[in-house]
Amino acid sequence: MKITSAEFVKSTWRPFDFPQEFLPEVAFAGRSNVGKSSLINVLVNKKKLVKTSSTPGKTQSINFFDVNDKIIFVDLPGYGFAKVPLTVRKKWKPLVESYLKMRESLRLVILILDVRRTPSQEDTELLKWFNLYNIPTVVVLSKTDKLSKTKLKKHIQMVRESLPFVGDNIIPFSAVTREGKDEIWKHILSSTGI
Ligand code: GTP
Ligand code: MG
């Protein structure tokens, strides 16, 4: 899709503070530091729409972005990083769960996994939970530029085997080479119907 505008809408820490639902939403979920915010920047061709950081736990609130006045991208805070303060980690579950459960405009969740790591128990639980609630999901394997071609093949296979219930919806991606960008957009367009 040709990007004509991509703008920050709102950041919130509290479920009752979510913006009103006008447009279809696509949420980006995953462990801290996997590259959720970087993926959003690549998809909208902006270097700094969303803040990224090499320190895990950068995004702690839920952030809403308007793309072309047609879709809302929702950057969810990451999970699973022990160094993030306990107070923040305790807030994650109620905040993210209430978003995922009550948001009628949610059309797709993009779950991002670092291609170099075996999916964690939290990743698997979240994917099963999406299944249970019938939330359409695509898995993106990020940071493919960090592996050689041979290793990459092996790792993709390893992830596929550890997540047999995901099927074919697994897309390798790199924010550096932009590999996978068009395929991710295809999924976004077909699930939001725009
Ligand atoms: P939290 O907000 O902490 O949950 O992290 P996040 O998932 O939003 O990750 P973010 O986009 O901030 O990226 C984390 C770090 O990984 C940053 O230093 C990024 O530059 C780097 N990074 C993200 N994607 C890629 C990628 O595809 N390749 C490489 N080489 N680095 C990446
Ligand atoms: Mg982030």
What pLDDT digit, counting tens, does each position of 98-142 carry? Answer: 999 889 999 999 999 999 999 999 899 899 889 888 899 999 999
Instruction: Please report which ligand is nearest the Cα atom of 53.
Output: 1
Instruction: Please report which ligand is nearest the Cα atom of 178.
Output: 1
Q: Is the pTM of this model over 0.85?
A: yes
Ligand 1, residue 173: give the atom nearest the CA.
27
Residue 146 vs residue 61, higher pLDDT: 146
Specify the residue with its C-alpha closest to ligand 1, atom 10: 35
Crossing angle of helices 36-43 and 181-192, in 10° steps, is 80
The CATH number given to 6-192 is 3.40.50.300
Specify the residue with its C-alpha closest to ligand 1, atom 29: 143
pLDDT tens for 53-84 read: 888 777 788 999 999 999 999 999 888 876 77
Query: 87 pLDDT exceeds 80?
Result: no
Q: To the nearest whole percent, how much of the chain has pLDDT over 90?
A: 66
Ligand 1 center from residue 33 Cα (angstroms): 5
What is the spatial distance between Cα 24 and Cα 26, in angstroms, rounded to a whole number? 7
* Mean local confidence (pLDDT), 147-161: 94
Residue 21 is predicted with a pLDDT of 94
Query: 95 pLDDT exceeds 80?
Result: yes
What is the spatial distance between Cα 29 and Cα 137, in angstroms, rounded to a whole number? 10
* Mean local confidence (pLDDT), 7-20: 91
